[in-house]
Structure 1
Amino acid sequence: MPARDAARPTPAELEAARDRTIADVIADDLRVLFCGINPGLWSAATGHHFARPGNRFWPALHRSGFTDRQYLPREQGQLLALGLGITNVAARATARADELRAAEFTEGGAVLTRKVLRHRPRWLAVVGITAYRAAFAAPRAVVGPQPEPIGNTRVWVLPNPSGLNAHWPAPALAAEFARLREAAGPGEGQVGPTARATSGG
């Protein structure tokens, strides 16, 4: 069994985390930049992406072969050495993604496009088909590689790893992550001195 984060936000801390933003885990020339929908309250309270217990992002990352073990959310910064990063479509933390306004997805897509053009990842992996459709005005998009790149960055849409997404059981989720890993090619070790954590925008 993987280790667990010890710190568990209290209900008051979770409520206080509404509307917060958290720092991206990002660097130039990444192999894959993963993009969540928006931070949940657990992530906003801890400052760690995909931090809510039951979220399957970190297990899928390991089971697909992106990482040699299951990382804890607090170890997110170590992804940069593997050429991996994390950002979000919308920056504002909410209890549920359906609390976001349509305009936040549209604006988030524009911000994400600028971010990708600036940092030039090999792949952008948007984690959630509904978010991708809303942010990029692509109502017919399906999970998998997308036909339109952003600059020189190719785009892949992954299933939402939330534990509530019953359409994608854990083995199928890991298999889809593995398809992306194979397309992205092998890691190249340290990303280099441009690696940094930044706030969104």
Structure 2
Amino acid sequence: MEAERAGPARRPTRQEVAAAVGRGLPDVIGPGLRVLFCGFNPGLYSAAVGEPFARRGSRFWPALHGAGFTDRELHSWEGDELLRQGLGITSLSNRATARAAELTSAELVAGVTGLAVKAERYRPGWVAILGVTAYRIAFARPTAGLGPQPDRLGPARVWVLPNPSGLNAHFPLPALTAEFAKLRRETGP
């Protein structure tokens, strides 16, 4: 992870966001994490600024803090602090798109192989897939729900959380936070 900044990057222009199509993001990852959070893929705004969940108003950061994973609400540029708190971020696909629906099923399925390699190398306690739809497709479990799953990735157990995207209207922030808190209780202090 890059050195921490004191604040957010300059807001990208519309042209810069549009130009981020297909760009990737570096993982926020290290050995022995409590939880490695795994999204579908980077959004265009995040790819444009080079940080996960970077869009102002991202629900990931308040849900993480509200669930008790972090001692304060972190920001997208605080990857080192996230790692210090035993948490990391990766994606099934590292191809930025405007909407996750632009990913193919084959990309999601292929992403499991890379995720398994990361889990074996870094050995997190849990891998939390952020989105039941992505999990169902990627892991070929069409009836899966939220919560702990029977799959393992290396030594890591797998948990499915709701997608924190603001487009996921089924889960307002309090409900999203409650789901994150279930995993937090399972991971211990």
TM range (shorter): over 0.9
The reply on whether 1:110 has 2:113 as its aligned counterpart is yes
Deviates more, 1:6-15 or 1:169-178: 6-15
Superposition deviation, residue 100 in structure 1 = 0.9
Structure 1 equivalent of residue 39 of structure 2: 36
Deviation sequence 1:36-68 (CA, Å, 0-9, x none): 110000110111101122320001011111111
Superposed displacement of residue 22, structure 1: 0.7
Counterparts of residues 18-57 of structure 1 (less than 5 Å):
18-57=21-60
State the SS of the aligned residue for 1:24.
coil
Cα deviation per residue 1:148-172 (whole Å; 9 max; x = unaligned)?
2223211100001111111111111
Alignment of 1:45-194 (within 5 A): 45-186=48-189
CA–CA distance in 1 between the matches of 2:80 and 2:16? Answer: 23
Distance 2:168 2:119 in 1: 27
Distance 1:19 1:132, change over 3 A: same
What stretches of structure 2 of length at least 5 have no aligned partner? 1-6
Q: Which amino acid in structure 2 is aligned with residue 180 of structure 1?
A: L
Q: Taking CA–CA contacts closer than 8 Å with sequence separation of 6 or more, which of the two structures ends up with the larger relative contact order?
A: 1
Counterpart CA distance in 1 for 2:80 and 2:139 is 28
CA distance in 2, matches of 1:119, 1:128: 22
Is 1:26–1:80's contact at 8 Å kept on the other side of the alignment? Answer: yes
Flag the 1:6–1:119 CA change in 2: closer, same or farther, 3 A. Answer: closer
CA distance in 2, matches of 1:177, 1:58: 11
SS of the residue 1:85 aligns to = strand
Mapped contact 2:117–2:154 kept (Cα < 8 A): no
Aligned CA-pair RMSD = 1.4
CA distance in 1, matches of 2:75, 2:122: 25
Structure 1 portions without partners, runs of 5+ = 187-201
Within 2, Cα distance between the matches of 1:62 and 1:151? 27
Match of 1:14 in 2: 17
- Which residue number corresponds to residue 3 of structure 2? none
- For residues 104 and 151 of structure 1, the distance between their equivalents in structure 2, rounded to whole angstroms, comes to 20
The structural deviation recorded for 1:78 is 1.2
How many residues align? The count is 184
Show CA shifts across 1:86-131 (max 9, x none). Answer: 0001110001111111211111111111111121100000111111
The 3-state SS of whatever aligns with 1:148 is strand
